[in-house]
Amino acid sequence: MTEQGNKQSPEQLQAEVEVARADLVASLGQLREQTTPTALVDRAKSKVSAFFLDEYGGVRPERVAIAAGAVVAVVVMGRWRRRRRSR
């Protein structure tokens, strides 16, 4: 940007606008690539893998047990609610 008091020529202003426009187009292109369905699925898979696997690719049994416990709890609560409603 320019300091106050310094005036830019129309050509200089046009050049700045073109640079800003090119930066914006590049940023939007990167954002579009990062938000494709495939990219989102790949990122989610990576996060899940990182949660359940250690840095050497081995399974973290304590985290698998926590997830399994959560699934069992949800299933038990669902069945309990259904039985309670049917009475």
Domain boundaries, the chain: 10-86
Residue 2 pLDDT grade (very low, low, confident, very high; cuts 50, 70, 90): very low
- Of the candidates 57, 52, 82, which has an alpha carbon nearest to the alpha carbon of residue 67? 52
- Rounded distance, CA 64 to CA 2, Å? 58
- Rounded distance, CA 53 to CA 42, Å? 16
CB atoms within 10 A of CB 53: 14
Say what the pLDDT of residue 84 is.
Answer: 85
Question: Does pTM top 0.75 for this prediction?
Answer: no
- Of the candidates 52, 46, 48, 47, which has an alpha carbon nearest to the alpha carbon of residue 64? 52
